Amino acid sequence: MDYIKIKEKLIGPAVSIATPMKDNFEIDLEGLEHNVNYLISNGFVNNKGVIMAVAAAGEAPSLTLEERKTAMKTVAETAKGKVPLVTSAQDPSLENVIKLAKYAEELGYDAVQISPPFYFPVNSEVVYQFFENISKKTDIGIMVYNTPWVNRGYNIDLRLMERLVKIENIVSFKWRNDNEITYLEAIEKFSLKISFLDNTLSPVPAYILGARMYLAIPANFAPKYSLHIHELLVNKRYEEATKELFKLHIPYYEWISEVEKEGILGEGTIIKAPMRMVGLPSGPARPPYNFTLNDKQRRRLYDILIRAGLNLIE
């Protein structure tokens, strides 16, 4: 596999897509196919965006391995090489991680998103050996996902990153860090070697330093908006990009923060609610995270989407 080409392909807003469900909580495969085609028809194509399938936003932690594989296959067969694809291979079991990575490779995915081992404590040597082991047993791009919120506060540091970027099939970092200096220094130092996916509230500093992607959850229901922000960023129109972020991206994340404090947990409800409002297949979130928004929460979201200029059906 040509890992240099994969790094070059990973550019643009990266949308971690929802996994639509039927009312009985089975995966709505037709709905998933529809949503992938919706993204492609609205500009998520090669060199202009990345689709991330069956990750946390796609409720992967609530799905069985077989369900994850079924959804991965549906996305790959629908996309047909029109857009770069990344999927989650995260799992507490190293063997399951490798199995998911190999299956993604069979389906034609460009990369798999993998965080450091979770549940048990880790250190840098454990993390390095983990990724080295995966790289030796797979032939697919690896997107390293720094996840201190599930790793007991552990953050990848610059010394470890220096070692990881030398592993041939590590092509990307999905990146935020509890240490702001490390966050910025890593992008500045390694952006010529690795395609960074910024995972913060504002991608502007990351793009200034060389990042090529940003996490665009609103692209699930406003793809052209997210593509426009990326276009402004790559053209160094940072002030305009910042203003655009405040039209939908930041208000939406502010709403998420509010409803989380009010007891709405998981990512299913917070992503599927706006998708329903614009008329996209979504369905319920998978239990135990099948929360229902109350009228006030729904109204606040509705107002945010209306102010952003979206056409709503409900």
Neighbouring C-alpha atoms within 13 Å toward the C-beta of 95: 0
Whole-angstrom distance, CA of residue 108 vs CA of residue 250: 33
Question: Is 224 annotated as catalytic?
Answer: no
Nearby residues of 246 by Cβ (< 8 Å), 6 or more positions away: none
Of the candidates 69, 174, 247, 272, the residue annotated as catalytic is 174
Of the candidates 103, 109, 145, 225, the residue annotated as catalytic is 145
For residue 137, what are the CA distances in angstroms to 99, 105, 140?
10, 12, 10
Question: Is 145 annotated as catalytic?
Answer: yes
Nearby residues of 158 by Cβ (< 8 Å), 6 or more positions away: 182, 185, 186, 189
Describe the chain by its helix, strand, coil percentages, rounded to 5: 50, 10, 40
Question: Mind giving me the DSSP string for 282-311?
Answer: --PPPTTS-----HHHHHHHHHHHHHTT--
Residue with tokens 């960074």: 196
What positions carry a catalytic annotation? 145, 174
